[in-house]
Amino acid sequence: MKKYKIGLFGFGCVGQGFFETLNSNTEISAEVVKIAVRQKNQVRKADAKLFVYDIDSVLNDDDIDLFVELIDDPDLALSIVKTALSKGKPVVTANKKMLAENLEELIELQNKYKTPIRYEGAVCGSIPILKNIDTYYNSEKIESIKGIFNGSTNYILSKIFNENISYESALKSAQENGFAESDPTLDVEGHDPKYKLSILASHIFGQVIHPSQIINWGINKLQKHDFDFAKENDLKIKLVAKVEEADNELSLLVAPHFVSKYNPLYHIEDENNIVTIEGAYSGQQILSGKGAGSLPTGLAVLSDVREILKGQGYNYKKSLVLKPIKNDLVEAYVSFSLKHSFVTELFQSITERYVGKDYSYVIGQIKISQLQTIIKLKSVNAIITSGNKIENITSKISYSYA
């Protein structure tokens, strides 16, 4: 039986996890024969003979059957994937930013060179969501996908709600425990889950949705009064990514949401992720698991290697008619400092309003495009309330001094 030769790029968290799961498995006949890394003179948990320090000596090795690309740099990752495809060599990658921003071109190149790429590890770590979207749910009429796609922010929010600590302390704890980068911008501002949503939505709806078409904001500006409001109302705040289809239009959003205990997202803690699928046939389906980590993501990468060795790329179903992206009217809670009280005027309808000495809030219907504008202002925060069971919110007594 032929033993397939793998060229690996990167030996960080996921690279090591993949290496370990591959080596301890007995069913996939493949081995890593070269690993390209940047830094010399580092002690690594693999035979020193495997390591090389220039990418081309791996890319140009004709003995290698497929590449596994697990480096951080999206530009370099893109160049590796494109060179590999041009040589007719399949690639497994987990670089969500690179994939989301270049998906259209990458689909074309796969067709041109009749060579597949796969990237389960790029979306929700250990959860086999792309694989299932691509096969099991291929015949399902998916109406919406909602979920928690980012482990770092979910870890931070869990700490805030379960241990009653501040955003700053929770972020620090996440960084100390390896659940957040030293520069956490991509996570806490909601860019990382946007890349994942872009990839998922493109696979589901058969049209490439570029991340620039998705509105996102994060959890980095949320204030103590916002967390207190949630707690008083028996709600949690979760950073939700979602896409919904209605009347042949798509709604896409990454934003903090209030969720009640009746919502499955409420119970997903720490670095775990969840994907909920609403389908015309199956109703609600849930997949949940670790959204990051060395071995969990390594397993996802390994499962792609298995599929590649069976010659299995993604199906990329193609919608005949492009669906426009909607400027939704959403229900949101918006809190703001007193100098921003013009915010109230932007609501199309108001169900609850509070004016205090230090801050105010309004709950009501507002256009998503207007939310996108005001959320950029300092000390304006918005949390989506619609699409969840929010029965408790309106039971709060409203103090309206205005």
Q: Site residues (CB under 8 A) for its own copies?
A: 17, 21, 24-25, 27-28, 126-128, 131-132, 135-136, 138-141, 264, 267, 272, 279-290, 293, 295-296, 298-299, 302-303, 306-307, 317
Least separation, in Å, of the C-beta of 180 and its own copies?
19
Nearer to its own copies by Cβ, of 210 and 318: the residue is: 318
Contact 335, 359 (CB under 8 A): yes
Nearer to its own copies by Cβ, of 172 and 306: the residue is: 306
Nearer to its own copies by Cβ, of 65 and 140: the residue is: 140
Q: What distance in Å separates the CA atoms of residue 284 and residue 189, rounded to the nearest whole number?
A: 28
Least separation, in Å, of the C-beta of 283 and its own copies?
5
Q: What distance in Å separates the CA atoms of residue 299 and residue 105, rounded to the nearest whole number?
A: 27
What is the 3 state secondary structure string of the chain? CCCEEEEEECCCHHHHHHHHHHHHCCCCCEEEEEEECCCCCCCCCCCHHHEECCCHHHHCCCCCCEEEECCCCHHHHHHHHHHHHHCCCCEEECCHHHHHHHHHHHHHHHHHHCCCEECHHHCCCCCCHHHHHHCHHHHCCEEEEEEECCHHHHHHHHHHHHHCCCHHHHHHHHHHCCCCCCCCHHHHCCHHHHHHHHHHHHHHHCCCCCHHHCEECCCCCCCHHHHHHHHHCCCEEEEEEEEEEECCEEEEEEEEEEECCCCHHHHCCCCEEEEEEEECCCEEEEEEEECCCHHHHHHHHHHHHHHHHCCCCCCCCCCCCCCCECCCEEEEEEEECHHHHHHHHHCCEEEEEEECCCCEEEEEEEEHHHHHHHCCCCCEEEEECCCCCCCCHHHCCCCCCC
Least separation, in Å, of the C-beta of 322 and its own copies?
17
Nearer to its own copies by Cβ, of 288 and 370: the residue is: 288
Least separation, in Å, of the C-beta of 17 and its own copies?
8
Contact 385, 361 (CB under 8 A): no
Q: What distance in Å separates the CA atoms of residue 135 and residue 155, rounded to the nearest whole number?
A: 31
Is 389 annotated as catalytic? Answer: no
Least separation, in Å, of the C-beta of 356 and its own copies?
34
Contact 68, 18 (CB under 8 A): yes
Nearer to its own copies by Cβ, of 15 and 190: the residue is: 15
Least separation, in Å, of the C-beta of 75 and its own copies?
30
Nearer to its own copies by Cβ, of 210 and 317: the residue is: 317
Nearer to its own copies by Cβ, of 259 and 363: the residue is: 259
Tokens read off for 395 = 């039971």
Which of 131, 159, 194, 196 is labelled catalytic?
196
Least separation, in Å, of the C-beta of 128 and its own copies?
4
Least separation, in Å, of the C-beta of 120 and its own copies?
8
Nearer to its own copies by Cβ, of 24 and 42: the residue is: 24
Q: Which residues are catalytic?
A: 196
